[in-house]
Structure 1
Amino acid sequence: MRKVMYNQFGDESVLELVEQAVPAIQKDQLLIRVKAVSINPLDWKVYGGEMKLMSSSKFPKSVGIDFSGIVEQTGSAVSRFKPGDAILGLLDVFKGGALADYIAVNETDVALKPAHTSFEQAAALPLTGLSALQILDQLATVGPNQNVLINGATGGIGLFAIQIAKKRGTQVTAVVSTKGVAEAKKWGADTVIDYIKQPINQLTQQFDAVIDLSTKLAFTDAKRLMKPKAIFVSTLPSPLTLLSSFVNNLFSGKKHKILILKPTVEGLNTLAQLAENDLQIVLDKTYTLSTIREAYREARRGKLIGKSVIVLD
């Protein structure tokens, strides 16, 4: 089978398509024939060497976190799935490995794919959808009659965060590029700010929560946008930001929290149910496995609306 691997940290040129044996499964695992894998910024932060403390420096390594596919085989202890089931799921966010024709996964890492959701859409849901849920329900804990600012609101997490926040009765202000203004409005943002025309440092309103999905807004700059007991959420768990968060939370009423994703079966099932109902999954572009370097190179440049996905045939 084909699998994307790399043997050193670097840019997209380190990614190689290699042949490997189909993995064997343990009694509590499933063998999945992968149909699609989504592209995430965390991918290139890991293969670029930015996350060494979390991912280790042991090679070879593989790429791809969230995926969709079909169950080919089940272990003897598996009870929730059967061969032929269409599923979505995700692997360890710092190890990856989904970009392969077949993968072995734990039963707890997958959920049934919503019937009316394509494999491409389903692959784009787990990582960013779970991130949006965790940010809104556990870190920022937004609810009715609160105001939240989402900076970088038309990326993978952002479009889910807008929709889910509105389901919670929250007033959403989305900060986006000119290209993303229409999409942010389309998916429910109450106020949309084009940062090209109005830089975020010129805003005068204060919010109950400020969520930075761009990884470019520092806590020191966000503080002026925050109410006295507001929460700032960032999505880059580097050693420096973790230390900064710890210090800030000791000495400030305004809290700084960092997303460190903790996937759960309940979360995956919640997402699948939301997608079955009315949660919209926005795709920017799809690629094939043979264009893996181009896919990541384009994604790294940014300016995407929603998610990009690699389709395996």
Structure 2
Amino acid sequence: MKAIAYKKFGNTEVLQTIEQPMPTIRPDQVLVKVKAFSVNPMDWKIRNGAMKLMSGSKFPKHTGVDFSGIVSDAGSAVSGFKIGDEVFGVVNNMMKEGASAEYVAVPAALVWKKPDNISYAQAAAIPVVGTAAVTAIGKMGKINSKTRILVNGATGGFGMVLLQLLKQHGAHITAVTSSKGVAYAKKWGADTVIDYTSQNVLSQKAMCDVVIDLSGKMGYKNARAIMLPKSIFLNVTPQPIEILFSMVNNLFTAKKHVVVLSNPGIKYTNILLGALMNGLEIEINKTFPFEQTKEAYQYAEKGGFTGKVVVEVN
């Protein structure tokens, strides 16, 4: 079968299409014929070596975490799935495995049945950003109509889900996005929208109970200027050193630096499945064929788009 792999850290040029054996399944696993997989920032952070302390330096490595597809086989200990089921899920270890292949073998506990009202591309786009959004909201503490939340980089895949879920909690949301994302931010629930191409959010007065930086460009040091005396900054793209920094920093200030590390599982997925039934929108910005996986990553890494980028597999 075909798969996408790389044999050294680097930019998109290190990505290769290779032939490798069909995966075999353990008793607790299912074999899924992949129909689509999603592109996430963590993919290229691992690929360019930024996460090598966690990923290790053993090659070849694969890319992609979340996927959708059709069950081709199920292990003897698997119940609840049968051949032909339409599913979506995640690979077991994003630092070691990848979803960018014609088939993947994954634990049945990390696979869920695809709702009929969404496409394979939409299903593949949900697990990573959806779990991160639910996890981030859990880190925010009690949220109500008086809670002022600023979402920086608000109309990518993560922001798409986060804005919609936050609106259900009744929070007052300020979204920071480009001019192309203003309409989406309003549609997904933002009360106030700041177009960063014409306005500097950091010039605002201290106004935020929560700042969540989805772009990774603001940073805690800058965010402090717009944070209220007792507030939190959520870091969803931490470098390993920032995890240690947050622990030390929070001992000495009421402006907390909180690292968000998400791990897809049934608890989070049930929340997302419920949200999908209640109208959660999944915007696919662009799809690429499997043969253009490298181009999909080049496009995604430039940023500046709304929603998610997905690769479809024949």
Q: Give the alignment's TM-score, normalised by structure 2.
A: 0.97
Matched, 1:219 2:213: no
Separation of aligned partners in 1, 2:265 and 2:193: 32
Matched, 1:94 2:95: yes
Separation of aligned partners in 2, 1:18 and 1:25: 20
Verify the 8 A CA contact 2:137 2:166 in the aligned structure 1. Answer: yes
- Which moves more between the two structures, 299-308 or 264-273? 264-273
Kindly provide the amino acid, as one letter, of the partner of residue 199 in structure 1: N
Q: CA deviation at 1:205?
A: 4.4
1:115 is paired with a residue of what secondary structure? coil
Kindly provide the amino acid, as one letter, of the partner of residue 154 in structure 1: T
2:162 is paired with a residue of what secondary structure? helix
Verify the 8 A CA contact 1:110 1:268 in the aligned structure 2. Answer: no
Matched, 1:153 2:151: no
Separation of aligned partners in 1, 2:252 and 2:90: 37
Matched, 1:289 2:277: no
Name the residue aligned to 1:21.
21
Verify the 8 A CA contact 2:64 2:100 in the aligned structure 1. Answer: yes
Q: CA deviation at 1:6?
A: 0.7
**Structure 2 residue ranges without an equivalent (≥5):** none
Separation of aligned partners in 1, 2:121 and 2:141: 30
Separation of aligned partners in 1, 2:165 and 2:96: 28
Separation of aligned partners in 1, 2:243 and 2:267: 27
- Which moves more between the two structures, 273-282 or 174-183? 273-282
Verify the 8 A CA contact 2:206 2:228 in the aligned structure 1. Answer: no
1:193-212 alignment runs, 5 A limit:
193-212=194-213
Verify the 8 A CA contact 2:249 2:257 in the aligned structure 1. Answer: yes
Verify the 8 A CA contact 2:4 2:100 in the aligned structure 1. Answer: yes
Corresponding pairs, count: 312
Name the residue aligned to 1:8.
8
Separation of aligned partners in 1, 2:196 and 2:65: 30
- Which moves more between the two structures, 150-159 or 80-89? 80-89
Verify the 8 A CA contact 1:111 1:272 in the aligned structure 2. Answer: no
Name the residue aligned to 1:111.
112
Verify the 8 A CA contact 2:37 2:99 in the aligned structure 1. Answer: yes
Verify the 8 A CA contact 1:177 1:196 in the aligned structure 2. Answer: yes
Q: Give the alignment's TM-score, normalised by structure 1.
A: 0.97
Q: CA deviation at 1:142?
A: 4.9
Separation of aligned partners in 1, 2:165 and 2:194: 19
2:275 is paired with a residue of what secondary structure? helix
Name the residue aligned to 2:63.
63
Kindly provide the amino acid, as one letter, of the partner of residue 298 in structure 2: R
Runs of 4 or more above 6 Å deviation: none
